[in-house]
Structure 1
Amino acid sequence: MLFILASLIALIFVAWLVVRGFANAFYFFARWLSGGEKLDAETTLSVSGKLHSTKKEREQYLDVLHIGWYQVVILFVGGSMAGLLLEEIWMLVTAGLTESRVGLVWGPFSPLYGTGTVLLTVICYWLRRRHVSNLVVFLVSACIGGILEQVTGWGMLTFFHTQSWSYAHLPDHITEFVAWRFLFFWGLLGLAWCRFVMPRALYHIGEPTSRRQAIFITLISVYVVADVCMTVACFTRATARDAGVSPHNAFEEWVDTHYSNEFISARFQNMSVHVEGTK
């Protein structure tokens, strides 16, 4: 008993050190990105004022903020990683499963959550500026989540014959990819995001003030686009291989060599592949 307790304390301490180390590394990296050559004096002054502003001034800043590519990229990447982490923790706690639940071939990303983060931010930011009620935010967020799950699930099954989740076994399912309980969770998530997380997230993301930040986000954007395109190419070839279609060019041969069915099975462990002509 004492050994188990000591091991648990040691594990918590190690986890705390790891989290603190990552936090410090992120802090110093963010400080470095904000340094260097500034983009322009106007942007620098606006951010300087934002950092030293009162709550009222912060709200005024958010009221005139226009969400652009800089904020969208950060929200997508952050949402993809945070959503993946929360999903894996949820599966570990509720089902005792430890498996890779990523959605792209490179990096720890789940684009479903990244897209959901961006959509919730854009729409909830629009709702916030119109001072709608919590009920409206809840219902709109639930609809966003349901539509996103339905379109993503249907698209994966229709175009790539793959499936990452199914709610058909749940008594409250609406379609194979949408269930009432998860619409409720999407609504709560959107409400919490709109009222508490989103204003602070957008406030701290702010605007790019240095060329380092602009270059870094541009590189991240290129990486994410390449990641998505390669993932589509991999699943397109996987579907073609299952149908007995040979590669037509050197790129498809390269994909078949480096991103085989074995790679896909190991990488996307929660995904099932439906081969045409089978059940």
Structure 2
Amino acid sequence: MESRGFARGLCWQKLFWVLVAGSVFGVAWEHCVNLLMHGRFYGGRGLVWGPFNLVYGCGAVLLTLLLWPLRDGQAHKLLLAGMLAGSAYEVGCSLLQETVFGAVSWNYDRELLPLLGGRTTLPVAFAWGLLAVFYMKAVYPRLSRLIERIPPRLGRALTLALLVFLAVDALVSLLAVGRMAARRAALPAQGGLDLLMDLCFPDHALKEIFPGMKFI
């Protein structure tokens, strides 16, 4: 069993580590962009604990799954597929956040060529396409080999531990943001869990964790 290696092919363990890598990279990317544009590190986090942003992580998984059949094809096909997939994902995440929490974390209304109410733009869509080409041709093959080099027993243990942690982190993050929305609506705590969220994640703490999030 050990000789088979860890996370061979496009299995769920491989996709999970793609999600983790994409989540961490997304946070680092936003911090670097904000440093260049505004002179300071901020933004990017999507969970209350750790340097993870599952929007980027799930986007990496989506690109991997959708573009896998085109990985050996021509670059222009990857570009077009990446533009469509990335833009659809970005718009979907924006709609979901607005519908569930009444909040937005990005808006491109004042940017060049905004689309769909500022949920994305044509330049951003093109950037998704370029990212798709670079990711499938240069990044994913190397990332895949790196993941497969993890010792199988260690890989399985790390996968399980990190999966449990991220699941709890995501659940607590949802509860904390949901409670923040309830406080904005002047809704009192309805039990011990709400009181715990009020104590551990007051508005000022969540604004530091999610500086780009705005309620509408």
Same fold (TM over 0.5): yes
Q: Name the CA distance, whole Å, in 2 between partners of 1:224 and 1:126.
A: 29
Q: Does 1:196 align with 2:138?
A: yes
Q: Does 1:92 align with 2:35?
A: yes
1:191-230 paired onto structure 2 within 5 Å: 191-206=133-148, 209-230=151-172
Q: Name the CA distance, whole Å, in 2 between partners of 1:71 and 1:223.
A: 17
Q: Name the CA distance, whole Å, in 1 between partners of 2:51 and 2:67.
A: 26
Relative to the length of structure 1, the TM-score reads 0.72
Shift of residue 166, structure 1, vs aligned partner? 0.6
Q: Is the 8 A contact 2:24 2:51 kept in 1?
A: yes
Residue in structure 1 matched with residue 21 of structure 2 by the alignment: 78
Q: Name the CA distance, whole Å, in 2 between partners of 1:186 and 1:217.
A: 28
Q: Is the 8 A contact 2:26 2:44 kept in 1?
A: no
AA in 2 matched with 1:43:
R
Choose which of 168, 174, 179 in structure 2 pairs with 1:237.
179
Q: Name the CA distance, whole Å, in 2 between partners of 1:204 and 1:263.
A: 36
Shift of residue 239, structure 1, vs aligned partner? 1.3
Choose which of 125, 146, 150 in structure 1 pairs with 2:87.
146
Relative to the length of structure 2, the TM-score reads 0.91
Choose which of 178, 182, 194 in structure 1 pairs with 2:120.
178
Identity %: 24
Q: Is the 8 A contact 1:150 1:177 kept in 2?
A: yes
Q: Is the 8 A contact 2:2 2:153 kept in 1?
A: no
SS of 1:155's equivalent in the other structure is: helix
Residue in structure 2 matched with residue 267 of structure 1 by the alignment: 209
Q: In structure 1, list runs of 5 or more residues that go unmatched.
A: 1-39, 48-64, 275-279
Choose which of 98, 101, 109 in structure 2 pairs with 1:160.
101
Q: Is the 8 A contact 1:70 1:208 kept in 2?
A: no
SS of 1:99's equivalent in the other structure is: coil
AA in 2 matched with 1:111:
L
Q: Is the 8 A contact 1:141 1:190 kept in 2?
A: yes
Shift of residue 97, structure 1, vs aligned partner? 4.0
Deviates more, 1:138-147 or 1:203-212: 203-212
AA in 1 matched with 2:83:
A
User: What is the number of equivalent residue pairs in this alignment?
Assistant: 215
Q: Name the CA distance, whole Å, in 2 between partners of 1:261 and 1:168.
A: 26
Distance verdict in 2 for CA 1:41–1:243, change over 3 Å:
closer
Residue in structure 1 matched with residue 74 of structure 2 by the alignment: 133
Q: Name the CA distance, whole Å, in 1 between partners of 2:135 and 2:17.
A: 16
Shift of residue 132, structure 1, vs aligned partner? 2.8
Deviates more, 1:165-174 or 1:208-217: 208-217
AA in 2 matched with 1:174:
L
Q: Is the 8 A contact 1:43 1:207 kept in 2?
A: no
AA in 2 matched with 1:83:
G
Question: Computing the radius of gyration over CA atoms, which structure comes out larger, 1 or 2?
Answer: 1
* Per-residue CA distance 1:33-61 (angstroms, 9 max, x = gap): xxxxxxx14415xx7xxxxxxxxxxxxxx
Q: In structure 2, list runs of 5 or more residues that go unmatched.
A: none
* Per-residue CA distance 1:38-94 (angstroms, 9 max, x = gap): xx14415xx7xxxxxxxxxxxxxxxxx532221122111111111211121112113
* Per-residue CA distance 1:176-208 (angstroms, 9 max, x = gap): 211001111110010011111111211221276
Give the alignment's Cα RMSD to 1 decimal.
Answer: 1.9
* Per-residue CA distance 1:149-197 (angstroms, 9 max, x = gap): 1111121122112221110112300122110011111100100111111
Choose which of 109, 115, 120 in structure 1 pairs with 2:63.
120
Residue in structure 2 matched with residue 43 of structure 1 by the alignment: 4
Q: Name the CA distance, whole Å, in 1 between partners of 2:198 and 2:129.
A: 41
